Chain A
Amino acid sequence: MVAGINMKALEDFCDKHIKSFVCWDLVIFFFDNKEGLEGDADALAAAIGRNPEEVTRHIEDLVESGLLVRSGDRYVLTEDVEQRHSVEEFVRAVDDRSQRLALLTLLLKKGIR
């Protein structure tokens, strides 16, 4: 377990933002690529290895839940400090082997695909 990770907060984060494993992949991608990616959903889909239709749908989910914002010709992570902190906690959990297993178990139990 990673010290200092609040599992309840992580569960709340997943309930609110991680509606699918495409959302998971998008959140990690935007965390690692803070400047976003120029282009539309096709470019993003090509980067994360998914098809454009599902990426379009799930980007909109993340915009609606307040994690992503449109900035000019690209999507980027929100500047909101609290949201950013919750993304950091999610990424920290994914980067830890036991925590990512716990996360996967949690999401599979919820029926996330």
Chain B
Amino acid sequence: MQALEETIISRRAVRKFKKDPVPPELLEQVFELARWMPVIDAFHSWQYYVVSGKKRDEAMDIISRNTIHLRDLLENMDEANKEKALHFYPDLGGAPVIVFQTIPKIESEWQRKYAQALAGMSMYLFMLGVHRAGLASCGVTLAPWIEEKLMEQFGIEDSEVVFALAIGYADEEPKTPKKSPERVTYL
């Protein structure tokens, strides 16, 4: 249990990566962990896409047309965040792998909400797995029109992106962020 707690608490969003490639077998280990997402198969609608090499460059160039993924850095623009933005923006901090998680396009609002929530839970397991495997990651916010461009670029039809994650070996040690307490109401 302590190991789990340590994994959860020590994970950080990393925005500067080493050039070293990510071994595919390491990613396989992470997917093996994500497989343990507590949901029945009937509700398992999400799909992961892993892009590296030339396709990663293509994805990155599309993502970088928009600046929404810098929003949290730009909102608190001190010198350290400026530096981070400059490192991260041109090529997602040099991350050698980008993972996209998608769900099918769903008409029903409540079904879509449910599918997104479950996909998000799975992605968190995946992120913990990435950290446990000695890798680092950073979530990448995508504007909806950029998501559509990515889907078009990679020929993925009838899907929407729920989450994008830049992955690689960390080349920085982010400070421990301040965390607000959970908002809880006991009724």
Contact = CB atoms under 8 A, between A and B. Distances in A.
Given A94-B65, A113-B75, A49 B142 contact: yes
Contacts of A12: none
Given A33-B145, A95-B61, A113-B75, A49 B86 contact: no
Given A94-B65, A95-B65, A104-B89, A49 B141 contact: yes
A24 interface: yes
B85 A108 contact: yes
Interface residues of B, number: 24
A105 B68 contact: no
Given A100-B90, A101-B89, A104-B85, A49 B67 contact: no
B44 interface: no
A90 to B, nearest CB: 11
A2 interface: no
Contacts of B141: 49
| Chain A binding surface SS class | helix
22 contacts: A21-B74, A24-B67, A25-B67, A28-B66, A29-B145, A32-B65, A32-B149, A46-B144, A47-B145, A48-B145, A49-B143, A95-B61, A95-B65, A97-B90, A97-B91, A98-B90, A100-B64, A100-B89, A101-B89, A104-B85, A105-B86, A108-B85
Interface residues of A, number: 22
A94 B146 CA distance: 14
Interface centre among A46, A49, A95, A101 (most CB of B within 10 A): A49
A94 B66 CA distance: 9
A50 interface: yes
Interface string A41-82: 000001111100000000000000000000000000000000
B112 interface: no
Interface in B44-80: 61, 64-68, 70-71, 74-75, 77
Most buried by A among B66, B68, B75: B66
A101 B31 CA distance: 34
B82 interface: yes
A108 B82 contact: yes
Given A28-B65, A95-B61, A49 B75 contact: no
A113 B77 contact: yes
A87 to B, nearest CB: 13
Contacts of A104: 85-86, 89-90
Interface in B129-169: 141-146, 149
Contacts of A108: 77, 82, 85-86
